[in-house]
């Protein structure tokens, strides 16, 4: 599917459903909803509110053991993935599809069944940008910045990044330096890169791959709140690959800042339209994996 008019110009994801999502993520079974919101009153975006409230209600890294378990289970599957003859389009599809596979559903087997489901989802990926242009952009990139997302699926993202490095690119994985929900932190990402490379027998690629922390809890797209090196890397990147919903939302919230540093024609988003708001935004069924690029060929409202 080609690119159609997607009205992001005034969008800040302020649907009532987004507030409900905030409540579920932060305040379910808590009684301090109004008190915490009062402390963040006046913040300018959804990303600010989600990030700052997490710092208030979370104690340390409450999901650390859960993340470690997810990463270990998925690492056992990496050796089953092919490594020869992989095209960039397939790699992008894999990255988007991995945002769909809920590998932590109770009772769901962490075995070949996960890869079977992932294989089906790869075929369902919708390109909401000119497919050939996006593929060429990534194929020709010598410097790739890759914003990581959740634990578990991050194993597949590291796989994608390593395969891009195998094609000759220099790859910089960007992860949050401080805990944020089940997103991988920079130390966890460094560990994953080493383990995935070991599983695939491509340890020689580690010289072409680096993990960079944002310096805090914010997404790498919050350019006024992250380490200056992240800003510099984005500015010099041939392409920035952004994984998951939270990074996409941060892009929407800070789009003017981001596009002053790196134009929309060098951005590629891999995500799943998991909620009605995003499904309506992209014009797809809920649960559809999407590859999107806000390139100059798109009509922005």
Q: Let me know if residue 162 belongs to a domain.
A: yes
Integer angstrom CA distances of residue 190 from 158, 194, 269: 10, 6, 22
Q: What is the CA angle 192-287-54, rounded to 5? A: 55
- C-beta of residue 147 within 8 angstroms of C-beta of residue 219: yes
| Adjacent-strand bridge partners of 239 | 144
Q: Which CATH number fits the domain that encloses residue 263?
A: 3.40.50.10880
Distance CA 12, CA 252 (A): 6
The model carries a pTM of: 0.89
User: Among 234, 222, 240, which residue's Cα sits nearest to residue 295?
Assistant: 240
Residue 32 lies in a domain: no
Quick check: 267 and 172 in contact, CB under 8 A? Answer: no
Per-residue pLDDT of the chain (301 residues; tens, 9 = 90+): 343 334 444 344 455 666 667 666 676 567 777 787 788 787 878 888 889 888 888 889 999 999 999 999 899 888 888 888 889 999 999 999 999 876 655 555 556 678 888 889 999 999 999 999 999 999 999 999 999 999 999 999 999 999 999 999 999 999 999 999 999 999 999 999 999 999 999 999 999 999 999 999 999 999 999 999 999 999 999 999 999 999 999 999 999 999 999 988 999 999 999 888 888 889 999 899 999 999 744 443 3
**What's the burial of 44, exposed, middle or buried (CB within 10 Å: 0-12/13-18/19+)?**
exposed
In a domain, 52, yes or no: no
Domain that holds residue 137: 58-292
> Would 123 be classed as within a structural domain?
yes
Count up the domains in the chain and report the number: 1
């Amino acid at each position: 599917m080609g690119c159609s008019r997607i009205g992001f110009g005034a969008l800040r994801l302020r649907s009532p459903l987004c507030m409900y999502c905030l409540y579920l993520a932060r305040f379910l079974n808590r009684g301090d909803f109004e008190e915490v919101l009062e402390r963040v009153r006046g913040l300018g975006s959804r990303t600010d509110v989600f990030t700052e409230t997490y710092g208030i209600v979370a104690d340390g890294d409450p999901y650390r053991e859960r993340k470690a378990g997810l990463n270990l289970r998925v690492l056992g599957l990496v050796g089953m993935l092919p490594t020869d003859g992989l095209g960039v389009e397939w790699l992008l599809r894999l990255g988007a599809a991995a945002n769909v596979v809920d590998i932590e559903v109770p009772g769901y087997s962490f075995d070949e069944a996960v890869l079977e489901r992932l294989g089906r989802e790869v075929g369902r990926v919708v390109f909401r940008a000119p497919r050939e242009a996006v593929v060429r952009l990534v194929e020709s990139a010598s410097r790739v910045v890759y914003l990581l997302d959740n634990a578990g699926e991050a194993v597949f993202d590291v796989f994608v990044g390593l395969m891009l490095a195998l094609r000759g690119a220099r790859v910089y994985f960007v992860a949050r330096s401080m805990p944020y929900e089940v997103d991988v932190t920079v130390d966890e990402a460094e560990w994953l890169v080493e383990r995935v490379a070991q599983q695939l027998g491509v340890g020689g690629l580690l010289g072409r791959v680096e993990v960079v922390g944002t310096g805090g809890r914010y997404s790498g797209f919050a350019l006024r709140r992250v380490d200056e090196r992240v800003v510099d890397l984005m500015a010099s990147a041939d392409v920035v690959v952004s994984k998951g919903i939270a990074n996409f939302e941060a892009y929407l919230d800070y789009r003017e800042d981001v596009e002053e540093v790196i134009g929309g024609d060098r951005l590629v988003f891999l995500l799943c339209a998991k909620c009605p708001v995003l499904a309506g935004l992209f014009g797809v069924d809920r649960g559809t994996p999407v590859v999107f690029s806000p390139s100059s060929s798109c009509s922005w409202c």
